[in-house]
Chains A and B, each alone.
Chain A
Amino acid sequence: MTSTAARPTAAGRARSVARYAAGRLATAAASLAAVVVAGFFLFRILPGDPVRAMTEGREVTAEQREELRRQFGLDRPLWQQFLDYVTGLLRMDLGTSFQYREPVADLILERIGPTVLLAGTGTLLAALLGLFLGARAGWRPGGPGDRVNTAVALFFWSVPTFWLGLLLIVLLASGRGFMPGLFPTGGMTAPGTTGPVSTVLDTAWHMVLPVTTMVAVIYAQYLMIMRSSLMDEKGADYLTTARAKGLRDALVRRRHAVPNALLPTVTLLFLNLGQVVSGVILVETVFSWPGLGQLFYSGLRVPDLGLVQGLFVVFAASVILMNLLADLVYPLLDPRVRP
């Protein structure tokens, strides 16, 4: 009882790593399958007739409607449609966009770069800011720093993302009113920008407002998660040990409390990645950022359900894959669950 707890054999360790990873992979695979099925039925069954939804409020003749129906394979039996859809997915074929007359997969590949750039930068900055402020707020709950931080975070959390973006444009980009137009109102680069250095600089310039919007809306939840996580750790015995060792308060927090509080936080951060997707769609829409979010919006406006469906599957799948990644990385962070 006293010594068996220590040091499992290497073979046992490898086995439990394999079992853990296999379990996570199976869960992720089941989730992905569910997304594929949901993606199909959401867009075929629910409205009864996607062509009618697409053409609602437009002048379309019955022949045109039939033509559309044939084009999307809607005249065939449902099970065959589903089979076509699944085999298509396996070949990375997400169908054809009604609006662009192009394969959805190609459209997505073209625009995934800008989205990853924007979402990645925004999430990274929001996480850093939120975790930093949350650790400070949670260390002295009820103190003045905590009150201000929590109030600001709650306000930004309550503000609709797109409205904050619009506000920033009116204030800092439109050039009307009392403020000069400091930043571009939208897009990723100004037309006519050439050369690698100026392209990078111009892109960064165009990113300031979109990234600010994303950070402002997302950081609040990171702050709140970190804050409550740290509050849970505050009474821990090992912090008394650290204090007894003569560490400064800030060091007790940074070296001992925060690393422990980070662990539950990481899981929750990944669980909230769906919010990042929502945020990036809205920010790209508002700032005309040429990425997947704007593509999604353009698909909605038409409506181009083939495109929306393809993006639905891609967005959902990417969140599931990121969660799988988090599950597989977590054991590296927490020595206790490290198999």
Chain B
Amino acid sequence: MTSLLDVRDLHVTYRTGDGRVPAVRGVDLALDPGDTLGVAGESGSGKSTAALALLRLLPDTADVTGQVLLEGEDVLGMRWGRLRAVRWAGASVVFQGAMHSLNPVRRIGDQIAEPMAVHGTVPARRAPERVAALLEQVGLPSSRARDYPHQLSGGQRQRVMIAMALACEPRLVVADEATTALDVMIQAQILALLRRLVAEHGIGMLMISHDLSVLAATCDRVAVMYAGRIVERGPAREVVHEPAHPYAGALSAAFPRIGDPASRLAPRGLPGDPPDPADPPPGCVFRPRCPVAEAVCATVDPPLWPVVPAGSDHQAACVHVGPARPLTTRGEGAAPPALAPVEEEGP
């Protein structure tokens, strides 16, 4: 069975005035229909760039290589006409829509109906009916169709974005920071809505967030990105509660509660800044900030290795995990004690 989404060795490099800056450096992802996959990481980890690359929505200054197989068809090699047909009808996006992702001067009903007309999925005369149904599905009164975005609250706008994403009944929905900028209560409501819709429609969902706890609450599987790479991936519970990579550990410890905006830029307890993407350090890119780095980390750039116990599909890219694990490692667990998740702070 072909998976719904199969991303292989995705690279994205921006051409800038100062040379080429890699933003995504070899990412593999796979998603089956009806599954939810979360991608976590700090700002600048390349997670949003990777998400936008799936539908080739990046500016012309970005070079994208690798393969993005959507139901077996490579998006990166598509002609423009085919790509336009796949956009929204095959895979849609819930943008961080609270503020700017809706056109401020057009009624939301028209904006929801627009992709139906473009893809011809619903005849024009039945569009209002369908818009009303979609709005009600996301918990908004159908009379809201005549409103403009500024007349809605942030949470309501996000619901509109979700209704819009479902307009053409896509197989895949990419939710890019879909709940960021919302307060905790609204965030929980939107997450519940997303979970319900995914279950009802059998949609595959790729959820991008800086907030690991959000992903833990929503996704079956989670991948953690750092500096353009996946450093850990596996079942959501395992990655969040028993992180193997020290970065994932820091990230999961960083969220005492859902949606703390201050933790978006720098996870708590993690010193330093992400590396300059134009000039990454040799060896493991996380080494400069890693509390358990060793001499070997300066030379070895570890690939994803299975995390013990073998057999589960939990993988991490850390020398403390893989076969090259130095003999000097203390204790028995892969994650160092200092970074172990703090249980009482869990959600």
Q: Do A and B come from one complex?
A: yes
Bound CA span A237–B52, Å: 12
- A-B interface pairs (CB < 8 A), number: 93
Contacts of A244 in B (CB 8 A): 55, 57, 87-88, 92-93, 95
Contacts of A336 in B (CB 8 A): 104-105, 148, 150
With A2-B183, A5-B153, A336-B150 known to touch, is A242 a contact of B103 (CB < 8 Å)? yes
With A5-B153, A6-B156 known to touch, is A237 a contact of B95 (CB < 8 Å)? yes
Contacts of B86 in A (CB 8 A): 246
A/B interface sample: 17 pairs, CB < 8 A:
A1-B183, A2-B186, A5-B150, A6-B147, A240-B57, A240-B95, A240-B101, A242-B114, A244-B57, A245-B88, A245-B92, A245-B118, A246-B85, A247-B114, A247-B118, A248-B84, A260-B105
Contacting residues of chain B (3-52) with chain A, CB-CB under 8 angstroms = 52
Q: How close is A92's CB to chain B, nearest CB, in angstroms?
A: 41
Bound CA span A101–B151, Å: 60
Residue-by-residue, is A1-33 near B (CB-CB < 8 Å gives 1, otherwise 0)?
111011100000000000000000000000000
With A238-B104, A245-B118 known to touch, is A335 a contact of B150 (CB < 8 Å)? yes
Contacts of A193 in B (CB 8 A): none
With A236-B100, A245-B115 known to touch, is A2 a contact of B155 (CB < 8 Å)? yes
Confirm or deny: A241 has a beta carbon within 8 angstroms of a beta carbon on chain B.
yes
Bound CA span A100–B250, Å: 89
Q: How close is A243's CB to chain B, nearest CB, in angstroms?
A: 6
Which B residues are within 8 Å of any A CB, using their own CB?
52, 55, 57, 84-89, 92-93, 95-97, 99-106, 114-115, 118-119, 147-148, 150-156, 164, 183, 186
Find out whether the CB atom of B95 lies under 8 angstroms from the CB atom of A6.
Answer: no
Q: How close is A226's CB to chain B, nearest CB, in angstroms?
A: 16
Find out whether the CB atom of B88 lies under 8 angstroms from the CB atom of A246.
Answer: yes
With A237-B99, A246-B88, A246-B119 known, 19 other A-B pairs at CB within 8 A are A2-B153, A2-B154, A3-B153, A6-B152, A238-B102, A238-B104, A241-B93, A241-B97, A241-B103, A242-B103, A242-B114, A245-B115, A245-B118, A247-B84, A247-B118, A251-B118, A255-B106, A255-B114, A335-B150
Contacts of B100 in A (CB 8 A): 236-238
Residue on A with the closest CB to B115?
A: A245
Find out whether the CB atom of A245 lies under 8 angstroms from the CB atom of B114.
Answer: yes
Contacts of B55 in A (CB 8 A): 244
